[in-house]
Amino acid sequence: MAKILVVLPYSGTKVGGGLANVNEELCKALAASGEHEVKLLTVKLPAHSAPDPERHGRTQIVFIQDPAADAMVNPGRIDDERTKLYQIINTAPDNVNSPAGLGLADWTPDIIIGHSRFSGPAAIKLRDKFYNAAKVFYFIHSVPAEGVIVHGQGIVSSKTAADKQAQELQLMRQADVVVPVGPLIRMGVQKIIKDGGGDPEAVRMHEFIAGIEMTGEPVEFIPPDLNGRPYVFLMVGRAEAPLKGFQDMILAAMELRDQDTNIMLRIRGYNTDRDTLEKIQQFVNEVTNPGDGMRERIQVLPFGDQEDVRLDVRKVHGVLMPSYFEHFGLAPMAGVEAGVPILVNELSGFGMFVNDPLRFDPALGGPCVVHDFAPEKPRPLGIDDIWGASVPDAFDTRPTAWAKAMMDLTVNLKDRFADARKLRQVFTGYTWPDTVTALLAAADKQYNGKTTLQSSGGALIVVAKKANK
């Protein structure tokens, strides 16, 4: 039995975003069997953002009291607010600055989980101050290099990315196990360590894969209607964000129209308000012509929750994740769970994961990945390809690449549905219980000084040292 302390100032679907949602699922999965004792140490939040105990399963939620006591923390806006836990633990008076004051009396964790620079400093401080025998698992959910990779896409500047990289490097050096989420972040972490003068092979690292939740049976094959029913593709995500690639999908759809391929494109956004929907529809109207049939073939759907998306997915021929860049990307999971073909961008943790021959048959994973990044590089991407690439060099043929991928899917639709079922079967080894099994196994001292990958059923793959170079 392990005692596990998870530290994060926000957790769950009320806050939204990958970090909060993954933390909720992680807490629930760690505590699900009852074998492990799990506590989530967090701050008091307004009711609309507070973690929901029912959605955290058997996890005990412990609220740390802010000595300032005046204002509640507003999560997810700026780094200073997201490091509130560390500020409290580091500066609180003695009556708070103790296990009893933190609500952890007579309880000693074996593992302390911190999430990146947002709660990693608090996790490290707790270990150093009170729990010297505990291991800090330092999760990395993003590589702060977006401004370098897709400069001009309205993301952080190169200087801001460099400052965050330096901060992450300092913190990772103090962790017992660095836990990047997916292959892209793992490679990014290795580069940050190398650029900082360190040896990536000397850092204990475990690559974490967010679990899939299998509910129900896969869908039956959906043949196209020879009398005019279109091939239907679904994009799930924030269409208002240029980084998500919505505009490129419109251009790809228009290329397919010119090739007499009958498709319909549906866009279902999360947390998309009416004004944003109108702006997206306005863009569609600007790039299409009245009477050519394209406006009717591009449906901008209103806000959808997880159940809306689940139902959407089960009615389409393909699920798209066309982002320019995704640290991992959870949207394709809905397609995998339903047994529906998926197409994902190359520059994503999910794309690199499903295209990894150590874990997937290339005949299943390979066709899911659209080669939309620097097409002149036919081999699997490495982090040195990605870091510092300019937008024109890296993405100038994206609409054409996506049009070709969608065309290939329609031509081989029956086979692709059969392969989607096989892919779904492989993913039954990557459920949340499997994720937890691998994560806790990674704490074993036999893996000290090594890099491990999560494999099927919670097994670990030890990465050969030459693979890190």
- Please give the CATH topology (third level) of the domain spanning 3-207: Rossmann fold (3.40.50)
Mean pLDDT of 292-311: 78
Q: Angle at the Cα of 317 (from 316 to 321), degrees rounded to 5?
A: 85
CA–CA distance, 249 with 288 (Å, rounded to integer): 13
From CA 228, how far away is CA 119, in angstroms rounded? 53
For the ranges 209-213, 224-228, 243-247, the lowest mean pLDDT is seen at 224-228
Residues of the chain with CATH 3.40.50.2000: 3-207, 231-427
Q: What pLDDT does 97 receive? A: 65
Q: Say whether 318 sits in a helix, a strand or coil.
A: strand
Task: Give the Å distances, CA to CA, from 93 to 67, 82, 397.
Answer: 8, 21, 58
Q: How far apart are CA 86 and CA 94, in angstroms?
A: 15
What confidence tier does 194 reach under pLDDT thresholds 50, 70, 90? Answer: confident
CB 119 within 8 A of CB 86: yes
Residues in contact with 234: Cβ distance below 8 Å, sequence separation at least 6, in sequence order: 266, 267, 268, 312, 313, 316, 318, 319, 320
Contacts 24+ apart (CB under 8 A), 50-54: 50/14, 51/10, 51/11, 51/12, 51/14, 51/24, 52/12, 52/13, 52/14
Beta bridge partners of 179: 139
C-alpha of 310 from chain center: 18
Q: Is the pLDDT of residue 184 over 80?
A: yes
Whole-structure pTM value:
0.88
Q: In the CATH hierarchy, which fold is given to the domain comprising 231-427?
A: Rossmann fold (3.40.50)
Q: Which pLDDT score, from 0 to 100, does residue 148 have?
A: 42
94 confidence band (pLDDT: 50, 70, 90): low
Question: What are the angstrom distances between the C-alpha of 127 and each of 31, 99, 134, 135, 138?
Answer: 21, 11, 6, 8, 12
Window from 229-238, 350-359, 374-383 with minimum mean pLDDT: 374-383
Least confident of 169-178, 248-257, 285-294, 412-421: 285-294
Task: Provide the pLDDT confidence category of residue 382 given band limits of 50, 70 and 90.
Answer: low
The pLDDT of residue 90 is 62
320 closest CA partner among 337, 335, 305, 338: 335
